Amino acid sequence: MFLSIDTALIIEKLILIVVVVSISLVVAMYTTFAERKVAAVIQDRRGPNRAGPFGLLQPLADGLKLFFKEEIIPNFSSKFLFILGPALAMLTAVMTSAVIPWGDKLHLFGRDISLQIADVNIGILYVFGVVSLGVYGIMIGAWASNNKYSLLGGLRAASQIISYELAMGISLISLLMVTGSLSLKEMVVQQQTGLWNIIYQPLGFLIFLICSFAECNRTPFDLPEAENELIGGYHTEYSSMKLGFYLFSEYINMFVSSVIMATLFFGGYDMPFVNEANLSTNVAAIVGVVALMMKVVFFLFLFMWVRWTIPRFRYDQLMHLGWRILIPLALFNMLVTGAVILFLDR
Amino acid sequence: MNITTLLFIILSVVAAFAGIMMITSKNPVHSILWLIVVFFAISGHYIMLNAQFLAIVNIIVYAGAIMVLFLFVVMLMNLNADTEPVKNYRLRLIGVISGGSLLLVLLAALMDIDKQQLVQMNVGDAGLIKELGKNLFTNYVLPFEISSVLFLSAMIGAVIIGKKQ
């Protein structure tokens, strides 16, 4: 045979990929709804409540609206790159979910099905690589728009993401010193038996959290789309579903970074105070997925809470925070972690 | 033809085609985008040699950081075909000669390869993070430290140039 891989494995992985991607999309869809509701609660309003019971059909109505809007491609823009921009933004947002362990294994039809699409031994670096590519969607779209506001938004996005990637990478190094593994699955297993990594790396987590806000272009770091300075920022010229892709990829990014934070620092699919070894395989897997989702919902709420509480930074403040505060702090954290590990001889 | 050969051919064709497009594109932004495609194809080659760490670091460092900076600078300067200075005849001739001699050197090096010592696909652990770390900090510790000093001096130089204004 041309391919010597087990056919059942391919089918299993395909189903898993479809399920994971559709769950990310649905969660992102309802995150937009949740964001509007949270904003409403914080600002003492009611929020969307017309479409369906409690406004639950609002995301569908929004999506339909975007689909039926007129498509406008500016006259002077590079057409191929103009379309490539939002497509890349969406692609990089969804790609990250491939290495995330969503739960332990299920036992169905006499097979053990791992709830992780690919357990590569460089898992966390893969996530980091895809995240660092995410900026291309914004930059290419911004440049192809041939509009000065878009271009300024794209340039801001690029310099912001590069600056915060450094601190994020260094804070990850100290985490990797503790775990001694790059595989996300391995990290979760370690946290299931031992303590959660947040105990060992509180400062590292704080730096990682701030940097992921910046990487997702969320307030207070949403300079690339600062409405009062740049109209719409990098997506000024976009309309219809292409605009929808940009807005939507931001929510998928939020979802994925919540999952990553939960996995790296908060035990992933580990349910606290429950010993998974005592449960049957399937029950343990379901409990794990529920635990992970609870942590994710908390982080998503944190993203929204911060957005509607803290005002946007000025650009020099953003750079100052990134280069003068977060990077030295991350380096300090790395040194202390290394020294402690050497001292305790773990 | 097995799947490894097929993948190798596809990746090589992509890399070579993107490389040619990168050189021939009139628009510098398009050139950069083609160069990113080249990096991806080369990372694919690394993965086929079982060097996953090298592959992903190649993407993070080159495609994810350096190329973003290139793109940043090109967009900021807003270069396009109209404003590009026309190089004179002598400069072009020098370019062709130096490029051609580099090609000759590379070809000569390729001719010298011992056919028995071809790389093994999908096996070997030289590119995995554990082996790489061990090698860097034991067998190659001196070159590693020297290159880190080089990077440090480059960083200090950049800061000094930036401070001048």
**In angstroms, what separates the C-alpha of A276 from chain B's closest C-alpha?**
31
Answer whether A82 touches B (CB < 8 Å).
no
**In angstroms, what separates the C-alpha of B92 from chain A's closest C-alpha?**
29
pLDDT value at position B152? 93
User: Do A159 and B65 make contact, defined as CB atoms within 8 angstroms?
Assistant: no
Answer whether B44 touches A (CB < 8 Å).
no
Give the sign of the dihedral formed by CA B53, CA B54, CA B59, CA B65: positive
Answer whether A151 touches B (CB < 8 Å).
yes
A127 pLDDT higher than 70 = yes
Answer whether B62 touches A (CB < 8 Å).
no
Q: Which residue of B has its CA nearest to A136?
A: B68
Q: Mark which of B86, B119, B148 sits at the end of a domain.
A: B86
Answer whether A166 touches B (CB < 8 Å).
no
Candidate from A96-105, A162-171, A226-235, B53-62 with smallest mean pLDDT: A226-235
Tokens read off for B48? 């086929």
Q: Is residue B15 part of a domain?
A: yes
pLDDT value at position B153? 94
Q: Which domain holds residue B81?
A: 1-86
CATH number at residue B67: 1.20.120.1200
8 A C-beta contact, residue A289 and residue A269: yes
Q: Mark which of B30, B52, B86 sits at the end of a domain.
A: B86
Assess: ipTM above 0.85: no
Q: Is residue B6 part of a domain?
A: yes
> How many A/B residue pairs have CB atoms within 8 Å?
61
A3 pLDDT higher than 60 = no
pLDDT value at position B97? 92
pLDDT for A203-212, tens place per residue? 888 999 988 8
The DSSP line for A59-76 is HHHHHHHHHHSPP---TT
Q: Is residue B116 part of a domain?
A: no
Candidate from A19-33, A107-121, A141-155 with smallest mean pLDDT: A107-121
* Shared domain check, B140 and B62: no
Residue among A81, A120, A132 minimizing CB distance to B60: A132
pLDDT for A230-260, tens place per residue? 777 777 778 788 888 888 888 888 888 888 8
Test the A interface: residue of B3, B56, B78, B82 with most A CBs within 10 Å: B56
Domain count along chain B: 2
Q: Is residue B65 part of a domain?
A: yes
**In angstroms, what separates the C-alpha of B23 from chain A's closest C-alpha?**
19
A283 pLDDT higher than 70 = yes
**Whats the size of chain A, residue-wise?**
346
Residue whose token pair is 């590990």: A341
User: Do A158 and B52 make contact, defined as CB atoms within 8 angstroms?
Assistant: no
Instruction: Tell me the percentage of chain A whose pLDDT exceeds 70.
Output: 95
Q: Is residue B99 part of a domain?
A: no
Tokens read off for A90? 């969406």
Residue among A129, A139, A161 minimizing CB distance to B56: A129
Answer whether B65 touches A (CB < 8 Å).
yes
Question: Coil, strand or helix: which one is A114?
Answer: strand
* Shared domain check, B59 and B135: no
* Shared domain check, B132 and B78: no
Q: How far is CA A141 from CA A20, A138, A153, A321, B12, in A?
A: 27, 5, 10, 27, 28
pLDDT value at position B119? 61
pLDDT value at position B14? 92
The DSSP line for B142-163 is HHHHHHHHHHHHHHHHHHHHHH
| Distance (Å, whole) CA A142 – CA B78 | 13
Over residues A91-97, mean pLDDT: 85
Positions of chain B with pLDDT lower than 70, given as ranges:
1, 78-87, 114-127, 165
Identify which of A110-124, A214-228, B25-39 has the greatest average pLDDT.
B25-39
**What is the overall mean pLDDT for chain A?**
82
Is residue A187 classed exposed, middle or buried when 0-12, 13-18 and 19+ CB atoms within 10 A define those classes?
Answer: buried
* Shared domain check, B148 and B77: no
Answer whether A133 touches B (CB < 8 Å).
yes
**In angstroms, what separates the C-alpha of B150 from chain A's closest C-alpha?**
19
Q: Is residue B155 part of a domain?
A: yes
Q: Is residue B120 part of a domain?
A: no
Helix residue ranges per DSSP H, chain A: 7-42, 58-68, 79-95, 123-144, 148-179, 184-193, 197-200, 202-215, 227-230, 240-265, 281-307, 315-319, 327-344
User: Do A122 and B63 make contact, defined as CB atoms within 8 angstroms?
Assistant: no
Answer whether A132 touches B (CB < 8 Å).
yes
* Shared domain check, B67 and B147: no
Cβ-based contacts of B129 with chain A (< 8 Å): 121-122, 182
Answer whether A3 touches B (CB < 8 Å).
yes
Residue among A122, A135, A159 minimizing CB distance to B56: A122
Q: Is residue B110 part of a domain?
A: no
Amino acid at B161: I
Identify the H or E element spanning A108.
Answer: strand A105-108
User: Do B60 and A125 make contact, defined as CB atoms within 8 angstroms?
Assistant: yes
pLDDT for B54-101, tens place per residue? 888 888 888 888 888 888 888 777 655 555 666 678 888 888 899 999
pLDDT value at position A1? 39
With CA atoms as reference, report the closest residue to A326 among A171, A157, A161, A112.
Answer: A171
Give the sign of the dihedral formed by CA A147, CA A152, CA A156, CA A162: positive
Cβ-based contacts of A128 with chain B (< 8 Å): 56, 60
